Structures are given as structure tokens and as C-alpha cells.
Amino acid sequence: MGESPLRSGRSVPSASVLKYYFYKATKAVEFYRPVMYLFFLAQGLTFTQIAILEAIYNLTTVLGEIPTGYLGDRIGRRNSLLFGTALIAATLVGIGLTSSFLALSALYVCWSMGYNFRSGSEDAWLYDTLTDDLSEDEFASIRGRGESVSLAIGAGAAVLGGYLGSLDLSYPWFVAAGVTGLGVVVLLTVEEPAAYEESGAENVGLRETLDIVRTVLTQRNVRALVVYYYVLYAAVTYLVFVFLQPVFETVVVDLGVAPARVESLLGIFYAAYSLVGAALSYHTGTIREYVGMRAWFVGLPFVVGGALAGMYFLPVLALPTFLLARGLADVTRSFATQYVNDRIGTVGRATVLSAMAMVSGLSVIPFQLGSGVISDAVSPLFALAVAGGVLIVGSGMILAWEAPISIDGNGG
């Protein structure tokens, strides 16, 4: 293995890695995230309708991930990222302007397609770029630092978004659209990795690409990781992000906070939420070195599942539980993507990574719909407790079947 772009004699990362960090800084989700579901509720939507919107998003992911991943392999990772980023920026403007459930449904399709074009291509571009420097083993660390940059910027964005939401719940969407648009400018300066250009990936047919996907998904240990992380863990923790806002509102109001202060407090909480994630993401490499990916994946679902179940009986536990789930999310995704990347080649890389997102998007749909119904019938806290129980039982069953991470040089 050659020198890492972060461990060579240079005092700063390579130009390509710096551009990656700048691009990650434009992922402006924290502007609208603190008030996202409050915005939808203010438009008259029910929890079930919100769950349907999320299901539409994930169904679009299921239908669009393989085609967009394939296009990312054919037209290039950068072009795929450019189109997806522009589409997301336009969609955010549309969401801020509408109050119709039907219009939001159509916009959710566009929103999902934008992320489809970015999902596999983003990680494929980074891994192939690091391959050019013979430093692909640094993928999880650099990806983690990229997420750290995004989350650190997002901390300030969350505070501003909460403030803007207290003025008008549509304002954060417009600001997020403008910042996302800056990502297009950054991406125009990015070059395709030499590993991609020399691979001939643009000439590979769809059938051959699908054969590569099938081969990867059926590999021993990889197949277990797909079920363990991309199906079960990712689906359950996605619900945490969906129900954070109504649960937060319930908990803080019960603690004596005036309802009028909820939006501003959400902005501050999301800032803390982002900073915890940024701190852990920055140390992704250190966590891998001292904990190891295998130990991380084996223990994590039981910790998160237990916390989700426990907060139903003691609601104030929801606040540290949300911080825990946020802090662990990006580190876990970086580990999972590193593990899969190490077992595939440049040809078809974007399609394989998109297939992983497709599997996750498909599995989360029944969780979303079921949790929406349970939330309307009982409460969001009860829905999350049920999800935590499912995570614990399901993880135990998968571990009894097969270990999700192999014990080898790449398994931690």
C-alpha cells in the first residue's frame, strides 16, 4: 500500500480530497431538518401521510438506485453527482413553496432521484480517487472526516434553520437550496479518477453489471452484512430521524418548556446532534483501529435497540438516545461502505453501492408504514420502542446464522 494523502509529507490533504470536503460542506440538510416534520404537520399532514411520503421516497430509491448507479458507471461519477445535486437544489425550492400532499408526493420522487444519482457515485468516486494514490484503505477515515466537515457545518446550519423556522417554516428550505447549489460549482472543478477512466466501466453492458452486483451480494459475510446493516439496522435507525421532532416536542413540553420555544430549541438540539456526529465521524479511523469493525457491528444493534425500547418507559432518555443514534450513524455507514468497497472492483462499483442503498430503501418501507400507523394509534415513542425490540431480536437471529463481518485483513 502506498502513502495515504493524509499521511504523506504534505501538511494538507490532496487537492481531490479537499474538493471532496468542500462538496460535503454543501450538503445542507441541517437547515431544514430541525423543522422538517413540523413543516409538514403545519401543512395539515398526518403522521400516516408523512410516513407515506417517506415510503414514496424509499420506493423511488428502490426503483431508481440500480439504473442511476449504472448511469454513474457509464457517464462518469462526476456527471452523476452534478445532475443529482442540481435536482436536489431545485426540489428543495419546490418543497418550500408547496402545501399540497400530492405536490409533495411528486417532489419526493424528484428528491429521491437526486440522491439516487449521488448515493453510489459519491462513494465510488472517492474510493477510486484514493485508489489512484494507492490509499484506498483510508476510505473509511477520509469518508468519516468528510461527514465530520458536513456535520460541523451543519451544527451552525441547524441553529440558523431553527431560527428561520421560527419566522417561517418554509425559509430553511430556500436557504438549503442555495447552499446545495454551491455543490454544483465545486463539482465542476472535480475530475474523474484515473482508476475509473482506465477501467473501461463506461463500456460495460447492463447484464454484465448486474452479474457483478449479484456476485457481490451473494458473497459469504457480505450477504449477512446486507441483511444485518442495510436491511435491519438502517431501517430501524431511519425511524429515529423521522420521529425525532414530534418526540422532542413532547418530551421538552412535558419538562415545562413553552411550545413557542420548541422550534428554536430544535435548532440548538440539532446543532448538538450534528457536533456529536462530527466528533465521532472525524475519529472513524481511530475507532476502527481500537474497536474494530467486527466488534462494532456485533455490539451496536443491541445498544441502540435497548436505548430505543428504554426511552418508552423513561421518555427523557429520548434526548441522549437521539444523540447516540446520530453519533453512530455515519461511522457505521463508513465502515459498511469500506467493507463492501474492499470486495468489489472499479467496474460496476457505483452500481453495487447503489444496489446496497436500494436494498435499504426497500426494507425501510414496511417499517415506515407500520410505524406511521402505530404512531397515530398510540404514539411515536411506542413506535420507536417496538422498532428497538425488532432490532434486538432480528440482530440476534442474524448473528446465529452468520457473522456479518469476516475476520480478515479488511474486517477490522
Q: Evaluate whether residue 216 is within a structural domain.
A: yes
Three-state SS at 349: helix
Q: Evaluate whether residue 9 is within a structural domain.
A: no
Q: Evaluate whether residue 388 is within a structural domain.
A: yes
In this structure, what C-alpha cell is assigned to residue 145? 472526516
Q: Evaluate whether residue 6 is within a structural domain.
A: no
Three-state SS at 76: coil
Q: What is the per-residue pLDDT across 24-45, written as a single tens digit (0 to 9) for each?
A: 889 767 788 778 888 998 888 8
* CATH number, domain with residue 306: 1.20.1250.20
The yes-or-no verdict on residue 412 having pLDDT over 70 is: no
The yes-or-no verdict on residue 173 having pLDDT over 90 is: yes
Q: Evaluate whether residue 32 is within a structural domain.
A: yes
Q: Evaluate whether residue 374 is within a structural domain.
A: yes
Determine the length of the chain.
412
Q: Evaluate whether residue 408 is within a structural domain.
A: no
Q: Evaluate whether residue 40 is within a structural domain.
A: yes
Q: How confident is the model at residue 193 (pLDDT cuts 50, 70, 90)?
A: confident
**Predicted TM-score of the model (pTM):** 0.70
Q: What is the per-residue pLDDT across 93-106, written as a single tens digit (0 to 9) for each?
A: 999 998 889 999 99
- Number of domain units in the chain: 1
Percent of the chain with pLDDT over 90: 22
Q: What is the per-residue pLDDT across 211-232, written as a single tens digit (0 to 9) for each?
A: 666 776 677 767 888 888 888 9
* Degrees to nearest 5, angle at CA 395 with 393 and 397: 70
Q: How confident is the model at residue 264 (pLDDT cuts 50, 70, 90)?
A: confident
Q: How confident is the model at residue 360 (pLDDT cuts 50, 70, 90)?
A: confident
The yes-or-no verdict on residue 109 having pLDDT over 90 is: yes
Average pLDDT, the chain: 82
Contact assessment for residue 132 and residue 109, using Cβ atoms and an 8 Å cutoff:
no
In this structure, what C-alpha cell is assigned to residue 187? 463539482
Nearest to 362 by CA among 115, 79, 63, 75: 63
* Range of the structural domain that residue 376 is part of: 17-401
